[in-house]
Amino acid sequence: MTISNSALESLQHAISQDSSSQRTLLQSLSRALLGSNVPEVLTQLDTDQLKAFSEHALAFLNRRGDTPLLLEVFTPSLEQHGWDFPYSVVMVALADRPFVVDSLKAELQRQKVGLVDLIHPILGIERDSDGQIKRLWASDDSTPKTQREAFEVFFVQLSSKHDQLKTRLTDVLNDVILATDDYAAMCEQVRVLNYSLRHLREVSAQGYHREQAQDLEDYIAFLDWLDDGNFVFLGYREYDIVDVNGASHLQVHQDSALGILRKLEGSRYLEPVPLASIPDSLRERITGGELLLVTKANAESTVHRPARLDYIGLKKMSDTWQIQGEQRFVGLFTSKALFAQVEDIPLLKRKLAQVIELDKAPVGSHNYKEITSIFNSMPREELFWSSVPELHKSIRAIMGLLHDEGIALNSAQ
């Protein structure tokens, strides 16, 4: 909805009568906030209340100063704020970046707090050396990135748990900041890992590990595919296998951490942990199996969308193929990735070939075609995280069901 031109003119006139030194900024902000796509709840406020709302918003933005994030949760009242309605309000200010709105919406859902409406303009803000606003305008594509600020106002169901909601939403936005600040560095890390894989392929091409080196092509192509808009990188961290008193230990490489995995306080491996004491499944993942693993993490993403994090682990290898640790990304496959054709995804092409080889289905045979068809119809996430034996077992079960249904249909005819 929009506020009528007459109501906006009345508001601008009321602000013009104000003797405050912030008058010009207040006029600019009210135009940016109320010029279009205004939540219905705001159209119910009279001129004085709209002015009070704008004043509150400007004071809030000024309080942000040069801090990375400002967030408050409150229930407005005429007595305290000069405007009110039967909802609570979440106000957020931070540098413009992706994932803010959808991450906040997801957390409100997790907290079972209903979202009534929202307003989220991108503002151009010029601040002085103390972080105070000198100039403000509705941002457009010409606004320098350093001056683009996100201002979010969420109108939610009445809540008395302001402090609890503020803590949870602040935690989520701190994760958003970590992930987006380090996004370019994580993409660059993908290229660094690919460089190391190419080097390993070259030094191994003629030696004892030449057959394994041939497999590296698929991993190199897969990392390139991830970097081509198919994965939202949210965190990166490395783990090293180190020698302590003659025994192998696992320890996080603290300087490697990026994005949400910069939060090291929850890691068990800040100090070296003996490999022998690590759970069998984790130890096997680090010291054995495929060079590259795609699976699901136990934790749910707080950034972008509420889904279990996708986990991509690549073993650290020496030139002689000694396992030295793990390089780990967490994030989310994009919708582009989840709807891509199997033949366009290097790792899944490899898995399909391995499933067919495990089944010993001759190329072009009925079983070959049926396995390929079922494989292509399965959810991409399941294909990514399932092992080849698991996929083969599932596909064989589906083939059995289809066969049984075919017999039943034939019998009924």
Query: Cα 257–148–42 angle (5° rounding)?
Result: 115
Measuring CA to CA, how many Å separate 253 from each of 194, 262, 342?
19, 11, 35
Token output for 24: 């010009």
Percent of the chain with pLDDT over 70: 96
Is the pLDDT at 412 greater than 60? The verdict is no
Question: Pick the residue with more confidence: 354 or 409?
Answer: 354
Whether the pLDDT of residue 407 is over 60: the answer is no
Closest among 335, 403, 347, 406 to 375, alpha carbons compared:
347
Alpha-carbon gap, residue 268 to 294, rounded angstroms: 22
Of 9 and 70, the one with more pLDDT: 70
Q: Tell me 351's DSSP state.
A: H
| Residue-level pLDDT at 8 | 76
Candidate from 7-16, 111-120, 251-260, 338-347 with smallest mean pLDDT: 7-16
> Across 1-147, where does the E strand assignment appear?
69-74, 88-95, 115-119, 122-127, 133-138
Full-model pTM? 0.90
| pLDDT in the model for residue 68 | 96
pLDDT greater than 90 at residue 409: no
The H-or-E segment that residue 309 falls in is strand 308-317
Distance CA 300, CA 103 (A): 12
For the beta carbon of residue 9, count every other beta carbon within 10 angstroms: 12
Tracing tokens 């705001």 back to the chain, one arrives at 42
- Here the tokens at position 153 are 């106002």
CB 367 within 8 A of CB 276: no
Element at 324 (helix H, strand E):
strand 323-333
Phi then psi dihedrals of residue 252, to 5 deg = -70, 140
How does strand 273-274 pair with strand 247-259?
A: antiparallel
pLDDT one-digit tens code per residue, 165-181: 999 999 999 999 999 99
The first and second tokens of residue 185, run together, are: 């560095």
Instruction: Give the burial class of 16: count Cβ atoms within 10 A of its Cβ; 0-12 exposed, 13-18 middle, 19 or more buried.
Output: exposed
- Please state, rounded to an integer, the average pLDDT across all residues of the chain: 91
| DSSP designation for 131 | S
pLDDT at 369 over 80: yes
CA dihedral angle for residue 110, residue 113, residue 115, residue 116, rounded to 10 degrees: 170
Computed on alpha carbons and rounded to an integer, the radius of gyration of the chain in Å comes to 28
Tens digits of per-residue pLDDT, 143-156? 999 999 999 999 99
If one counts every other C-beta atom within 10 angstroms of the C-beta of residue 155, the result is 21
CA distance 105 to 110: 9
pLDDT at 113: 96
**H/E stretch holding 293:** strand 292-300
